[in-house]
Amino acid sequence: MISMLDGCELAGYDADTVNRATTLTLIAGATDTNTITLTWAMSLLLNHPHVLKKAQEELDTLVGRDRLVKDSDIDKLQYIQAIVKETLRIHPPGPLSGPREFTEDCTLGGYQISKGTRLITNLWKIQTDPNFWPDPLVFNPDRFLTTNKGLNVRGQHFEYIPFGSGRRICPAISFALHMVQFTLASFLHSFEFSRPSEEPIDMSENIGMTNLKATPLEVLVEPRLSPEVWKTL
């Protein structure tokens, strides 16, 4: 970035300012988003034990209990992928997109928009719109294996854009998806999780640029695999 923009000006900003702003955006978007997604996924699974059981049954069938989950297993774990997709739909780590700026006057949805206007898209609102999503607030990973099977997160289906869309889509989308899916699969395969009480997990959210859970997630964890499996590490 430094060499490509050396001496350039972009929309009135010098190269150093653009590089600093871009770097800060990358750091802000990557620091806690994977942790946030995994926290919401585990919270949803603990409140829906039948989904948790189904995910572990998939892992037992396709991976077994005599070894740990490998990177190469992820493509086969369709239900784990569906859980991650549904988590990103209901609890996107960034509920609002990064800002865009109109470079010319235009008309959008019947509204006259002037050049220089900044737009921040409410991703959560789009992804829970009842016009596109039946029972939009219900956690149902099966929808991504049936009615919404063809949808992906790469910005081509505008009713589902947790990573954004267009030229400013999240550049780490492939890495983030794989890491979240692999980590979640490893958690569910290696350990049994349960709530510390009969009360459902609190699903309230904080207000901010990232969609943090308002209260800490507390769970009971016990080993699920034989100790012999861990000796292979």
Average confidence (pLDDT) over 31-54: 95
Question: Which pLDDT score is estimated for 59?
Answer: 97
pLDDT digits over 164-223, tens only?
888 878 888 898 999 999 999 999 999 999 999 999 999 999 887 789 999 999 999 999
Cβ contact 92:127 at 8 Å: yes
Question: Which pLDDT score is estimated for 16?
Answer: 86
Question: Which pLDDT score is estimated for 152?
Answer: 87
Is it the case that residue 30 has pLDDT exceeding 90? no
* Of 164, 134, 165, 166, residue with least CA distance to 148: 134
CA distance to 5, 111, 119, 170, 212, per residue, from 115 (Å): 25, 13, 11, 25, 34
Question: Which pLDDT score is estimated for 132?
Answer: 95
The phi, psi pair for 121, rounded to 5°, reads -90, 135
pLDDT band at 21 (very low <50, low <70, confident <90, very high): confident
Is it the case that residue 58 has pLDDT exceeding 80? yes
What's the pTM? Answer: 0.88
Tokens of 147: 């009615």
Is 32 or 180 the better-scoring residue by pLDDT? 180
pLDDT digits over 95-154, tens only?
998 888 898 999 988 999 999 999 899 999 999 999 999 999 999 999 999 999 989 888
